[in-house]
Each structure stands twice: as C-alpha cells, then as structure tokens.
C-alpha cells in the first residue's frame, strides 16, 4: 500500500500595482534577516450597466517580505513605484491580520501600468453552501475553503504547513452548479482575484472568475 501524504493545496497570489508608501525595512537578529511590510494598490475598472458609466475600484494589499529579496528588490523602492509580487496568503500574528507573504518581488520606476490581481487557490469546502441573490438579481454562492500549504521558512530553514480559511464568492451559473452539487469536504479549485470585506479588519475573500468542483 502506498503511503498517504499530507494534503498540499495551491495558494498562489500575483499582484502588480503601486507602492502606497516607501517600504519600512528592518532587521532581526539571530540570525540577521531583513524584513519589511508594504502596501500595494491595485486598480480595477469596469462598465456598470445600471449607471451606464465606467467605475473604478482600488484594493489595498498588505504584503510581508522576508529575507534576501528585501535588499535585492526593495532597498531603493519608493512611494509610487510599480511593484510585482508573487506569494501566498497567511494569517499574520500581529493584530491577527490576513495578509500576503511574498516569495518574489521586483520593482519598476514610477509610471502607469495596468494592474494585475490574480489568485489561484485550492482546498476543501468546510462550510455550508450559501446561495444568494444580489440587489442586481445576480446569483452568488459563498463558501469557506480551507487550504493547507507546505512553505519553506527563511528564518527556521525548515518546511512547515500553513493552514488558512478564506471565503470564496462564486457567481452566475457556476454558483447554481456549486449550490446543487457541492457539499462539505469536497475539493475545489478557484481562479479569481483577491478582495477585501468592508469591515474593520478588512478581511480577505476570493472573488472567483472560475471554480472547479471536485466532488467525491
């Protein structure tokens, strides 16, 4: 019999946006490692059929960067610079925030660039499936998806498992299919964008462009 391996889900976030402020680079001792927190603004624009006008929305993402990529990518970065990051979602112990841990970062000079806000996420459904109809008569399904990721720590130099839970919003025909066929413990794969609830803690949720249900 083959051995059972622990679940290793996918959680990959890619952002291209502008630095809201100059990164605050600090160092910790034993071992000496650079770390920084920064805020990235990404912008989305769409046509609203109700008002017959284009609308814009800005999302602000808190990103934590640790290790050599801090000095390699952020040492000369400044407010307004364009920045590309790739990483994964994590729950920060500081103030119990939901943030992004960057494993890659690259900065570019100030200027205009169309934003990128993309997340690929997989995990198990751990909540009841809620089917709702919005004020604009659109079907929306909300589920909570738990993801377990195996990540490597540049501080401990060891791999460990990061477990997170995030709401996922699925729209339209996919929402109806999920409500009819999905159930707790089913696996789901999501392609979407990272968004934030309008509450005090600005909790993260995933707005799905596509959701693939892997029912048992």
Residue 115: pLDDT over 70: yes
- Render pLDDT for 25-82 as a digit per residue (tens, 0 to 9): 999 888 889 999 999 999 988 777 777 777 788 999 999 999 999 999 999 999 999 9
Residue 14: pLDDT over 70: yes
Of 97-106, 115-124, 129-138, 182-191, minimum mean pLDDT range? 129-138
CA angle 123, 87, 13 (to 5 degrees): 60
| Helix-then-strand count for the chain, H and E | 2, 12
Return the C-alpha torsion angle 42, 43, 44, 45, nearest 10: -170
Please indicate whether residue 10 or residue 4 has the higher confidence score (pLDDT): 10
pLDDT-derived band at 4 (thresholds 50, 70, 90) equals low
Residue that the structure tokens 């993309």 belong to: 118
Residue 2: pLDDT over 50: no
CATH code that applies to domain 11-214: 2.40.50.140
Q: What is the pLDDT of residue 5?
A: 58
Residue 3: pLDDT over 70: no
If you average pLDDT over every residue of the chain, what do you get? 91
Q: Which helix (H) or strand (E) holds 209?
A: strand 204-214
Please indicate whether residue 23 or residue 95 has the higher confidence score (pLDDT): 23
- Render pLDDT for 121-162 as a digit per residue (tens, 0 to 9): 999 999 999 999 988 788 999 999 999 998 887 777 788 899
With a pLDDT cut of 90, the percent of the chain lying above it is: 71
Per-domain boundaries in the chain: 11-214
């Amino acid at each position: 019999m083959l051995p059972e391996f622990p679940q290793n889900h996918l959680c990959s976030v890619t952002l291209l946006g502008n630095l809201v402020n100059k990164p605050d680079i600090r160092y910790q001792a034993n071992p000496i490692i650079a770390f920084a927190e920064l805020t990235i603004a990404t912008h989305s624009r769409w046509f609203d059929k109700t008002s017959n006008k284009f609308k814009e929305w800005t999302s602000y993402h808190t990103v934590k960067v640790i290790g050599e990529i801090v000095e390699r990518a952020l040492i000369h970065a400044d407010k307004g610079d364009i920045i590309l990051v790739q990483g994964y979602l994590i729950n920060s112990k500081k103030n119990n925030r939901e943030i992004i841990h960057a494993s890659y970062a690259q900065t570019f000079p100030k200027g205009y660039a169309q934003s990128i806000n993309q997340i690929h996420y997989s995990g198990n459904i751990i909540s009841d499936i809620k089917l709702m109809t919005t004020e604009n008569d659109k079907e929306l399904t909300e589920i909570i998806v738990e993801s377990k990721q195996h990540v490597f720590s540049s501080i401990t130099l060891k791999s460990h498992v990061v477990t997170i839970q995030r709401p996922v919003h699925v729209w339209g025909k996919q929402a109806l299919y999920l409500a009819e066929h999905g159930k707790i413990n089913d696996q789901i794969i999501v392609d979407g964008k990272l968004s934030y609830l309008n509450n005090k803690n600005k909790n993260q949720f995933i707005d799905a462009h596509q959701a693939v249900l892997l029912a048992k």
